[in-house]
């Protein structure tokens, strides 16, 4: 447990795809490997997703010769409106991410809340999730 001050990061984005399509992309390894934790110069090495409550995920991307490991456990899966999971990876303690998706006239709106982020990483975590949602919006997954 860390004594570092934490904050909550909140990122939202509108998609021109259905709530079902966007929700399913988070749990499909082939689709998730194209947008989750992807960087411009990284190479995706592993995407394992056990899409059930209590199931875990592990996504590994090689970045400049080092592996960026993203792990977590699914805590809540309510298709197509809500996904909640723990999220962590060395050297960071487990945090919690909640994704809420609601249909709109043009597709859907996704709201992502990441609780327990170390205050010093607030800006980079906000930018990271915003980039992930931008990548998801650009995918041809409909």
Buried b (16+ CB within 10 A) or exposed e, 15-43: bebbbebbbbbbbebebbbbbbbbeeebe
> Nearest 5°: phi and psi at 42?
-80, 165
Task: Provide the pLDDT for residue 2.
Answer: 64
User: Are 14 and 123 contacting, i.e. CB atoms less than 8 angstroms apart?
Assistant: no
**Which CATH number covers residue 99?**
3.30.530.20
Q: How many domains does the chain contain in total?
A: 1
Does some domain include residue 1? no
Looking from the CA of 63 toward its CB, the CA atoms found within 13 Å total 11
> Nearest 5°: phi and psi at 26?
-70, -20
Compute the residue count for the chain: 142
One digit per residue, the tens of pLDDT, for the chain of length 142 reads 568 899 999 999 999 999 999 999 999 999 999 999 988 888 999 999 999 999 999 999 999 889 989 999 999 999 999 999 999 866 677 899 999 999 999 999 999 999 999 999 999 999 999 999 999 999 877 5
Q: How far apart are CA 133 and CA 119, in angstroms?
A: 21
Q: How far apart are CA 16 and CA 24, in angstroms?
A: 15
Task: Provide the pLDDT for residue 88.
Answer: 84
Does some domain include residue 101? yes
Measured CA to CA in angstroms, residue 25 lies from 51, 58, 121, 141 at distances of 11, 15, 26, 8
Domain range for 59: 6-138
pTM (2 decimals)?
0.92
Does some domain include residue 35? yes
């Amino acid at each position: 447990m860390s004594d570092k001050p934490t904050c909550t990061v909140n990122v939202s984005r509108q998609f021109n795809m259905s709530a079902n399509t966007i929700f399913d992309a988070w749990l499909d390894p082939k689709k998730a490997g194209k947008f989750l934790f992807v960087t411009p110069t990284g190479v995706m090495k592993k995407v394992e997703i056990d899409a059930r409550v209590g199931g875990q995920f592990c996504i590994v991307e090689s970045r400049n010769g080092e592996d960026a490991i993203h792990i977590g456990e699914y805590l809540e899966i309510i298709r197509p409106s809500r996904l909640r999971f723990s999220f962590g990876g060395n050297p960071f303690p487990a945090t919690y991410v909640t994704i809420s998706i609601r249909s709109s006239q043009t597709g859907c709106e996704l709201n992502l809340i990441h609780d327990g982020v170390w205050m010093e990483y607030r800006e980079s975590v906000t930018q990271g999730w915003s980039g992930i949602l931008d990548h998801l919006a650009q995918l041809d997954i409909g």
